[in-house]
Amino acid sequence: MSFLCEVFPPGSSLLSPGATACAAVSADEAVLLEILRPDVAFAMWLRPAPVGWSRLTNALLAAAPFRAKAEDAPEAAIDALLAGLGQPVPAGLAADMTQLARVFAAITGRPTVRVRLDGVTHDACRTFHLDSVGLRMLCTYRGAGTQWTMCGPECRAPQQAPACAVVLLKGSRHQPPPPPGCLHRSPPVSTLPEARRARLVLCIDEPGIF
């Protein structure tokens, strides 16, 4: 595996002053387990979008803006989320969301998860920040991916997760507290042509934290 924490270790000059954040990025799914290390604040599994993914998800993307959410065991949570959408969802997308919910539950050691599927058409959280959660998983199925940085809140050249990559982020409620310096934000889309603004984003959190 190739980890960014080997390229940008704690104390690297590329970090903002006082920051000690470490990010792990790989095309190997096992990289997600790196988030269990106390010195890792961000883990990303770089996986390619399935063949024909755009065609399968075009109808759902066109339905944005929308939000559907649920909290339950992984399979039941995804079933409830899909029922709340009120529109057909490709079987491949449903299966992938279920698998990611299972992975998240296994990593957190919790029997239930809180899942949310957003169709986003506007600028959301444009400021670099930590989420008020323990651990969060994000996957942007379509559109611009989550931006992240270890250069502080004023970063002008952030990294960006590609579509379908799976990201794990430690939030401000994580115990032990995450190392400081690794921040993220939703990508600004208001400057893009209207046809390119929509995003399809899956968010998975630990249960009971709103």
**CATH number, domain with residue 67:** 2.60.120
Name the H helices within 63-164.
Answer: 74-85, 91-108
Query: From residue 149, how far is each of 6, 153, 163, 199 by CA, in Å?
Result: 16, 8, 17, 20
Contact between residue 64 and residue 195 where contact means Cβ atoms under 8 Å apart: no
Contact between residue 141 and residue 57 where contact means Cβ atoms under 8 Å apart: yes
Residue 41: inside a domain, yes or no?
A: yes
Rounded Cα distance between 48 and 31, Å, is: 15
Buried b / exposed e along 140-149 (16+ C-beta atoms within 10 A) = bbbbbbbbbb
Q: How confident is the model at residue 192 (pLDDT cuts 50, 70, 90)?
A: low
Per the structure, the complete domain to which residue 123 belongs is given by: 4-205
Contact between residue 152 and residue 14 where contact means Cβ atoms under 8 Å apart: no
Residue 164: inside a domain, yes or no?
A: yes
Tell me how many domains the chain contains.
Answer: 1
* C-alpha 134 chain-centroid distance: 13
Residue 192: inside a domain, yes or no?
A: yes
- Give the residue, 38 or 194, on which the prediction is more confident: 38
Q: Which of 60-69, 123-132, 147-156, 172-181 has the highest mean pLDDT?
A: 60-69
What pairs with residue 23 in β-bridges? 42
What's the pLDDT tens digit per position in 11-45? 444 444 444 568 899 999 999 999 999 999 999 99
Contact between residue 143 and residue 200 where contact means Cβ atoms under 8 Å apart: yes
Rounded Cα distance between 72 and 60, Å, is: 23
CA-nearest of 85, 90, 89, 92 to 67 is 85
pLDDT for the residue 179:
82
pLDDT for the residue 144:
86
Residue 85: inside a domain, yes or no?
A: yes
Q: List Cβ neighbours of 114 (8 Å cut-off, separation of 6 or more).
A: 69, 70, 71, 77, 204, 205, 206, 207, 208, 209, 210
Q: Within 10 A of 107 (CB to CB), how many other CB atoms are there?
A: 16
Residue 65: inside a domain, yes or no?
A: yes
Residue 174: inside a domain, yes or no?
A: yes
Contact between residue 188 and residue 123 where contact means Cβ atoms under 8 Å apart: yes
Is the pLDDT score of 10 beyond 60? Answer: no
Residue 155: inside a domain, yes or no?
A: yes
Residue 210: inside a domain, yes or no?
A: no
pTM over 0.85: yes
